[in-house]
Chains A and B, each alone.
Chain A
Amino acid sequence: PFQLGFQDATSPIMEELLHFHDHTLMIVFLISSLVLYIISSMLTTKLTHTSTMDAQEVETIWTILPAIILILIALPSLRILYMMDEINNPSLTVKTMGHQWYWSYEYTDYEDLTFDSYMIPTSDLKPGELRLLEVDNRVVLPMEMTIRMLISSEDVLHSWAVPSLGLKTDAIPGRLNQTTLVASRPGLYYGQCSEICGSNHSFMPIVLELVPLKHFEEWSAS
C-alpha cells in the first residue's frame, strides 16, 4: 500500500506541524487554482489588446495581497518554531553521534550505556521486517516523558530525523545540537539519516522504541 501525506503524529509538536501544513497547503492550492484559471482564460480568448497599458490598480492588488498571504503563513510558522524551543525540563538526556555509516547512542545520566546501531542488511532480515529500516540495536526510550537529545557527529555531516515525531536535527562535527523529544504513544518509530554523508547514507536508519517507563528502567538495568 502507499500513503499520501505525513505519518501520524507521535508528539504534540508534530500535531501542530500537521495542522500548519494543512493550512499552508490550502493557501497554495488556492493560489495555484487562481493562476491556472487566469492562464486558461488568457489563452482561450479571441480578444486582443495591443495598446500599451497602465495598470496601477491591479499592480497594487498583486503587491499587497501576496504580502498579506505571507503574513498569514508566517504567523503560525513562527508560533510553532517558538513552541519547539520552549523550556520543558527534560528528565533524560541521550547523546547520539553520527558516524559513517551508523549511529551510536550514549545514555550517561545514571550509568554508562553506549551502543552502536547498524542497519540490518537485507539478507539478514527476519520475515516481515522493513527493508533498509531495521537496526540491530534500537534506541529504547520512555514514553510520555520529555527527553533531551544531543546530536553530533564524529566525522561528516549527518542528520538525525524521525518524521513521526517531527524531528530533524543536523549532526555537525564539532557542534552539539539539541532537540526535545516527547512521545505520546508507545511503539516503534523509524527514521533515516537526512544529510548526505557518503556511500551508505541511505543505509543508516534510526529506530526509536518507545516503551513505558518501567520497561525502560528494566532495559537499562540489564
Chain B
Amino acid sequence: MSKAVGWGAPRDAGWALPRPVEAGRSHEGAALEKAVGRAWRAPALWSLGSSAFSVTGLADPGRAAAAASREMFFRAAWSLVLRRGGLGSRGIHSPGDTAHSKGKMPPYTNYHAQRSYPMPDEPFCTELNAEQRALKEKEKGSWTELSHAEKVALYRLQFHETFAEMNRRSNEWKTVMGCVFFFCGFTALLIWWQRVYVFPKKPITLTAEWKAQQLQRILDMKGNPVQGLASQWDYEKKQWKK
C-alpha cells in the first residue's frame, strides 16, 4: 500500500506501477491517509526500488539493474523532495493553488488542476511510452472491455492525484499551534522580567485595606444606587445582597 508510487509513476513505467496502487485504490480514503502517514516516514526509496525492478525495456539485464538503481536513487531523492514539498508546503489548506502546484510539479508540464478546477484540459502525462499509447488506443474502443487495472492506469495518466489524495489532511496545525504556544510562552517570560525589573512600586491605594475603606466610603455616600454598586448592598443587614 505504498502511496509513494503515485509520485514517480507517471514519468516512469506507468504500466506496471498501478498494480500496487490498485490495492490501495479500493479503500481509498482511510488507506491513503494511513499510507500518507506511513510514507512520510518510510522513504519512497523502498517502493520505488520495487517498482524500478519491474521496469524492463532495457535489453541488458545487468545494465538495466545498474541504470535502474541509479535512476531509482535519483527518483527517490526527487520524490522525497516532492514529498517534503508536498506536505511541508502549505498547499493543503488551499489545495493546489496555482503557485503551489507549480512548485510540486516538474516545471515543464501544463497540468494545472485545483480544487476549484479539478478537470484541467491537459492530461498529467503527456509523454507516453509504447504501452501507454497502446492503452490510449484501447481507450478509444468500448470501455467495458478495459480491465480495472487498465482503468486505473488511464486515470493515473490523466490526473496527478485522486480527490482523496488531493483533499488529504496535513499535520500543519500542530506546527502552527506549537509555534503559537512557544511565542506566548516567550512573551510571558518577557512580561515577567518586566514586572520584576521595570515596573514602579504600586500606589498605596491598591492595598486591600485602602480598597476596603474606599468601598465603605462609596457605600456610605450611596454611589450608583440605581443599578450599580450601592444597589447591591443591603443597608439593613449590612451585607451584599444575594
Q: Is the CB–CB distance between B225 and A185 below 8 Å?
A: yes
Q: Is the CB–CB distance between A127 and B213 below 8 Å?
A: yes
Q: Is the CB–CB distance between A129 and B227 below 8 Å?
A: no
Q: Is the CB–CB distance between A8 and B205 below 8 Å?
A: no
Q: Is the CB–CB distance between A8 and B203 below 8 Å?
A: no
Q: Is the CB–CB distance between B210 and A127 below 8 Å?
A: yes
CB-contacts of B177-230 with A (<8 A)? 203-205, 209-210, 213-217, 221-229
Chain B residues, Cβ within 8 Å of A83 = none
Report Cα–Cα, A125/B206, bound state, in Å: 13
Known contacts A50-B117, A188-B221, A188-B223; A1/B214 CB under 8 A: no
Q: Is the CB–CB distance between A1 and B229 below 8 Å?
A: yes
Q: Is the CB–CB distance between A131 and B225 below 8 Å?
A: no
Chain B residues, Cβ within 8 Å of A187 = 221-223
Chain A residues, Cβ within 8 Å of B175 = none
Is A48 interfacial (CB-CB < 8 Å)? yes
Report Cα–Cα, A128/B205, bound state, in Å: 8
Q: Is the CB–CB distance between B203 and A50 below 8 Å?
A: no
Interface centre among A48, A128, A131, by most B CB within 10 Å?
A: A128
Report Cα–Cα, A196/B217, bound state, in Å: 30
CB-contacts of A171-203 with B (<8 A)? 185, 187-188
Is B115 interfacial (CB-CB < 8 Å)? yes
Contact pick for A122, options B115, B116, B205, CB 8 Å: B205
CB-contacts of B91-118 with A (<8 A)? 115-117
Contact pick for B116, options A48, A128, A130, CB 8 Å: A48
Chain B residues, Cβ within 8 Å of A41 = none
Closest chain-A Cβ to B165's Cβ sits at a distance in Å of: 16
Known contacts A48-B115, A48-B116, A128-B214; A7/B224 CB under 8 A: yes
Q: Is the CB–CB distance between B221 and A122 below 8 Å?
A: no
Is A9 interfacial (CB-CB < 8 Å)? yes
Is A40 interfacial (CB-CB < 8 Å)? no
Report Cα–Cα, A7/B230, bound state, in Å: 11
Is A33 interfacial (CB-CB < 8 Å)? no
Report Cα–Cα, A187/B204, bound state, in Å: 25
Is A3 interfacial (CB-CB < 8 Å)? yes
CB-contacts of A97-150 with B (<8 A)? 122, 125, 127-131
Closest chain-B Cβ to A6's Cβ sits at a distance in Å of: 9
Report Cα–Cα, A110/B210, bound state, in Å: 41
Q: Is the CB–CB distance between A7 and B116 below 8 Å?
A: no
Tell me the nearest residue of chain A to B213, going by C-beta: A128
Chain A residues, Cβ within 8 Å of B215 = 1
Interface centre among A8, A9, A130, by most B CB within 10 Å?
A: A8
Chain A residues, Cβ within 8 Å of B117 = 50
Q: Is the CB–CB distance between A8 and B228 below 8 Å?
A: yes
Report Cα–Cα, A111/B213, bound state, in Å: 38
Chain B residues, Cβ within 8 Å of A48 = 115-116
A-B contact pairs, 24 of them (CB 8 A): A1-B215, A3-B228, A7-B224, A8-B224, A8-B227, A8-B228, A8-B231, A9-B226, A48-B115, A48-B116, A122-B204, A122-B205, A125-B204, A125-B205, A127-B213, A128-B213, A128-B214, A128-B216, A128-B217, A129-B214, A129-B217, A131-B203, A164-B224, A188-B223
8 closest Cβ contacts across the A-B interface? A128-B213, A48-B116, A131-B205, A8-B224, A8-B226, A128-B217, A8-B228, A127-B213
Add 17 more A-B contacts to A3-B228, A48-B116 (CB < 8 A): A1-B229, A3-B229, A7-B224, A7-B228, A8-B224, A8-B226, A8-B228, A122-B204, A127-B209, A127-B213, A128-B216, A128-B217, A130-B214, A187-B221, A187-B222, A187-B223, A188-B221
